[in-house]
Amino acid sequence: MSLRDEPHYKIAASELAAWIEGLGADRWWNVDGDPLLTGRLSFPCPADELAAELRRINRPLLVQDRRQPASGRGEQISGRDLDKLVTRLGDNVHGVKTAPWVDDRLFFLCWADRGDDWLLVEDEETTESSRLDASVSPSVGK
């Protein structure tokens, strides 16, 4: 079954980009299943790179409403509405509640004009690793 057949909302790519950046430009993200983004970026990638690419693509997206009960019927939303639609990666895995990735944010998406459903997943492990590397590495050019 396609995301189009499930409860969903429509969002501009620029709104998703702004929301991602609002969580932190140094936060890392993964994409699974989207040939458009995976053909343009290497994943995982930091939020600023992902946001910039979303803005370049500039196409509307559909985001699945996985809440219970779900109510999305294709209405347009803004970035400020995304927090209520967040699923956590650990919500989809039973019996694992202590892994570092259980609280990573997850969205089921598709481009409004394409048929591929795909996942956007926060990558807290890579984010923390990148922050640690930055804190112990000497600054370039100093």
DSSP-derived secondary structure for 54-97: HHHH--EEEEE--SSS---EEEEE-GGGGGGG-EEGGGGSSS--
**142 in a structural domain:** no
How confident is the model over 50-95, as pLDDT tens digits? 999 999 999 999 999 998 889 999 999 999 999 999 998 777 676 6
Backbone angles phi, psi at 107, to 5 degrees: -130, 145
**137 in a structural domain:** no
Q: Which of 2-6, 44-48, 107-111 comes out lowest in average pLDDT?
A: 2-6
pLDDT beyond 60 at 112:
yes
Q: Output the average pLDDT for the chain.
A: 90
**113 in a structural domain:** yes
**72 in a structural domain:** yes
pLDDT the model gives residue 94: 66
**139 in a structural domain:** no
Determine the structural domain holding residue 21 and report its residue range: 3-131
User: What mean pLDDT do residues 25-43 have?
Assistant: 96
Would you say the pTM of this structure is higher than 0.85?
A: yes
**8 in a structural domain:** yes
**140 in a structural domain:** no
The domain total for the chain is: 1
**141 in a structural domain:** no
